[in-house]
Structure formats: C-alpha cells, structure tokens
Amino acid sequence: MLNPKVHQLLNEQINKEFYSAYLYLEFSNYFKEKGLDGFANWYMIQASEERDHAMLFYQYLQNNNAEVTLLAIDNPTREFSSHMDVLRAGLAHEEYVTSLIHDIYAEAYAVKDFRTMQFLDWFVKEQGEEETNANDMITKMELFGSDPKSLYMLNQELAARVYSAPSLVL
C-alpha cells in the first residue's frame, strides 16, 4: 500500500503531465502558425511523450491498487512574443517538472518506498534528457535563429524527429 502523501503526489503528477502535453500542443500551434512545421512537429512529439508519461503514472497507481483521481487540466498561456520565448518557456517548464519528480522521490525516500523510488528512477533520467534537449534548442536558436537559411535548416532537422513510446516496464 502506498503512503498517503506519496499516493497524492503521484496522482497530482498525472495532472501535471497532462498539462505538459497541453502546453506542448500550444507550443506546436504557435510554431505551426509561424510556418515552422519542424518546430511544430518537435513539440507535437513532446506532447505525445508527456501524455504517455501521465499514463505511466496512472498505470503505476493502478498496479499498486491505489485510487486514481483525475483532475481538471488548466489552459496553457499563449503569450509569446518570439520563438525564443517559447523555447525558454519549454526549458523553464522542464525544470519545473524535474522539481516535481524530485519532490515525489524525496517523499518516497523519506518513507522508504523503494518500489516508487525505482519507478521514478526512469523519470529522473528522462528529465535530465528533457532539460538537455530544451537547452540545446535554445543554443541552436541563439546561434542560427536570426539567419533565415539557418533557421530553415534547423526547422528541417526538427521535422525529422519521430516518436518512440517509452519502454518502461511497470
């Protein structure tokens, strides 16, 4: 049986992951409207990943005979004045999600919930990759974003991204 606080945090994380999917769909919309289909593709795939992350938390709770309570998903804000604003918002959001995962891990550690800690290990690693990817996009945009030909090439690079579902076994 899960500790009540760990259970609550895991359940809240489902909502946070679905919100992340909504946020990345909004980013995808922004770039699609700007004619940057590659960037739109990259964030559409991010949205799919976040949705699958939510489902991993959902399944983990169910596999542990813990009640799942679905919460309302907030609307993401849509106030971006530049492409870089979107990319920076993406990095800030990934850093926030990392802090949430760390909070759940810390609570599981405090109550010696080793099963949940093991489950979260994959997410800790995943968040490191997510932050690196977000930083890389910012760096590339800083280097190439002001040059139309380079922006076109970067857009093409991002258009080549394909989705592969997480291979986490619960």
* Whole-number pLDDT of residue 145: 84
Q: What is the predicted pLDDT for the residue at 163?
A: 84
Give the pLDDT score at 170.
Answer: 56
Mean local confidence (pLDDT), 42-47: 97
Q: Residues 124, 100: contact at Cβ < 8 Å?
A: no
CB 36 within 8 A of CB 155: yes
- The residues near 68 (Cβ < 8 Å, ≥ 6 apart) are 11, 14, 58, 61, 62
Q: Mean pLDDT, to the nearest integer, of 57-66?
A: 97
Two tokens, residue 26? 């909004």
pLDDT tens-digit readout, 141-168: 999 888 999 999 999 999 998 888 776 5
CA nearest 130: which of 167, 96, 164?
Answer: 96
Q: What is the pLDDT of residues 62-83, one digit of tens each?
A: 999 999 999 999 999 778 999 9
User: Domains along the chain?
Assistant: 4-71+78-159 (1.20.1260.10)
Per-residue pLDDT tens for 75-119?
997 789 999 999 999 999 999 999 999 999 999 999 999 999 999
The CA distances from residue 95 to 3, 20, 100, 132, 150, in Å, are 26, 12, 9, 10, 28
- Residue listed under structure tokens 């992340």: 20
* Terminal C-alpha separation, the chain: 16
Q: What is the pLDDT of residue 165?
A: 75
Lowest mean pLDDT, pick from 32-41, 61-70, 78-87, 127-136: 78-87
Report the phi/psi class of residue 35: left, alpha or beta, with left for phi > 0 and alpha for psi in -120 to 50. left
- Is pTM beyond 0.85 here? yes
Residues 131, 99: Cα–Cα separation, whole Å:
12
DSSP, residue by residue, 92-103:
HHHHHHHHHHHH
| pLDDT at position 78 | 75
**Block residue for tokens 């699958």:** 52
